[in-house]
Structures are given as structure tokens and as C-alpha cells.
């Protein structure tokens, strides 16, 4: 698969996982509910941000500098708010998008260790 496609998929899913986890945390504002919800979705959000950083490192190594910068600022949030936000609820999206992002990052990680 082309590197730009993998970069787009991994970055968009990572951004979606992080933004969905943030939405879940904002929705659970009461103290007792937030402590119960926090563990799973906070972990998913943190893993999504780490996945986004890995995707951005790959992007800066593989493409001209402005391509990953433009994707981070415009394309990834636009894909989330236009398409991915409507596919799944915030709770399901935080977990599924994070898992999908890490699956999309497998080719990057294996290529770095070869």
C-alpha cells in the first residue's frame, strides 16, 4: 500500500481516537461517573495520541515537511468532524479508532525494526 494512504489512515484514526476520548471525558463531568469512565477512555486517548505522534514521525521522515504539517492541522481534524464523528458514538469511537490506528501503524513499526 502507498505510504501516503497508510499515513492518512493511521493519522486520521489516531486523531479520531484522541478526539473521541476527549469528548467522552467532557460528557462525563460528574466526579463519580468520570472516575469510572476515566480509566478506559483516558488510556485509549493516550494511546491514540502516541499513535498520532508515531504517524507524524513517519510522515516527516517520508514526505516533504509541509505534507504532515498540513495533514495535522487541516486534514485529520476535517476527516474526524466530517466523516468519522458521524460513524460511531464517542465511547465506541475512542476504543475502535484507537485500535484501528494501531493496526494501521503496524507496517511502520515493523519497517523501522527491519
Q: Please indicate whether residue 31 or residue 77 has the higher confidence score (pLDDT).
A: 77
State the pLDDT at residue 31: 62
State the pLDDT at residue 27: 79
DSSP string, the chain: --HHHHHHHHHHHHHHHHHHHHHHHHH--SHHHHHHHHHHHHHHHHHHHHHHHHHHHHHHHHS-THHHHHIIIIIHHHHIIIIIHHHS-HHHHHHHHHHHHHHHHHHHHHHHT-
Return the domain boundaries, the chain: 3-112
pLDDT digits (tens, 9 = 90+) for 16-72: 999 999 888 887 766 666 666 778 888 899 999 999 999 999 999 989 999 999 999
HSE at residue 92, side-chain half, CA atoms within 13 A, is: 6
pLDDT at 96 over 90: yes
Amino acid at each position: 500500500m502507498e505510504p501516503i494512504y497508510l499515513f492518512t489512515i493511521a493519522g486520521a484514526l489516531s486523531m479520531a481516537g484522541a478526539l473521541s476520548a476527549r469528548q467522552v471525558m467532557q460528557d462525563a463531568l460528574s466526579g463519580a461517573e468520570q472516575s469510572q469512565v476515566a480509566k478506559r477512555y483516558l488510556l485509549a486517548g493516550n494511546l491514540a495520541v502516541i499513535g498520532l505522534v508515531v504517524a507524524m514521525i513517519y510522515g516527516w521522515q517520508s514526505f516533504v515537511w509541509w505534507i504532515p504539517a498540513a495533514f495535522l492541522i487541516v486534514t485529520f481534524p476535517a476527516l474526524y468532524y466530517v466523516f468519522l464523528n458521524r460513524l460511531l458514538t464517542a465511547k465506541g469511537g475512542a476504543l475502535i479508532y484507537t485500535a484501528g490506528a494501531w493496526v494501521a501503524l503496524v507496517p511502520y513499526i515493523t519497517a523501522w525494526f527491519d
